[in-house]
Amino acid sequence: MLDDDVITGLAEELAEAGRTKSVIPRITARHPDATIEDSYAIQGIWRDANLAAGRRLVGRKIGLTSRAMQQATGITEPDYGVMFDDTVWQTGAVVPFDDFSNVRIEVELAFVLNRPLEGPHCTLFDVLRATEYVTPALEILNSHIELEGRTIVDTISDNAAYGGIVLGGNPTAPDAVDLRWVSALLYRNETIEESGVAAAVLNHPATGVAWLANKLHQHGARLEAGEIILAGSFTRPMWVSRGDTVFCDYREMGTITCRFN
């Protein structure tokens, strides 16, 4: 594992990249022996510094849970990051493009919990029982580490490339629909760019939430009531430029739209 001072220094680099909307060289290019444990330690120091500065944690994101995303990134293991209150938008929002170093959009479902979830043996059924409702969500990806050649160590260190979330559609009880068959059509400027079905996320999107609860248990943490959990994308990421309008149609679960200015 990396020395503590190296881990702290990398967390500070990422924090500065966030402030300046820039990217830093790959961590694995400079520290090829860095481990996944190192990457979560870097993320943890960055997270704690943000909490100390007054930001409020509202949920978690899970990434790299579908074959589409794994193939798009060349990474085969899921990861997770945290979501703060100032990174949440509602459908119809104008999202400031300059808040990000780069912008890509993913299509997801978000689970809102009404009770805590804790590993190490959390199952899909535990997730459904602990979920108040499921709602459509678009994740805004934002990388502060150069994209070419990055590994899961780089991605996790960078808060799993999380930038923001846009919520919308029709919040739905978890037993009201077969969540595996929730589908979505993703448009950029009225042109369809991606489509997918939620079963692409580990055969059922709730499986991703169970994975996260069990993974957090290894780090002495759990998911809390009220948290928003992004279950993972079931489309490839779509690049977005300044001025683009994004629209996603989840059929019976409603729509989400936003514009980047």
Tell me: pLDDT of 74 over 90.
Answer: no
Domain residue extents for the chain: 57-260
How far is 50 from 211, CA to CA, in rounded Å? 25
pLDDT band at 78 (very low <50, low <70, confident <90, very high): confident
Tell me: pLDDT of 35 over 80.
Answer: yes
Handedness of CA 20, 23, 28, 31 (dihedral sign): negative
CATH architecture of 57-260: Alpha-Beta Complex (3.90)
% of the chain beyond a pLDDT of 70: 96
- Residue 230, judged by CB atoms within 10 A of its CB (0-12, 13-18, 19+), counts as buried
pLDDT tens readout for residues 129-184: 999 999 999 999 999 999 999 899 999 999 999 999 999 999 999 999 999 999 99
| pLDDT score of 65 | 80
Average pLDDT over residues 224-243: 96
Tell me: pLDDT of 97 over 90.
Answer: yes
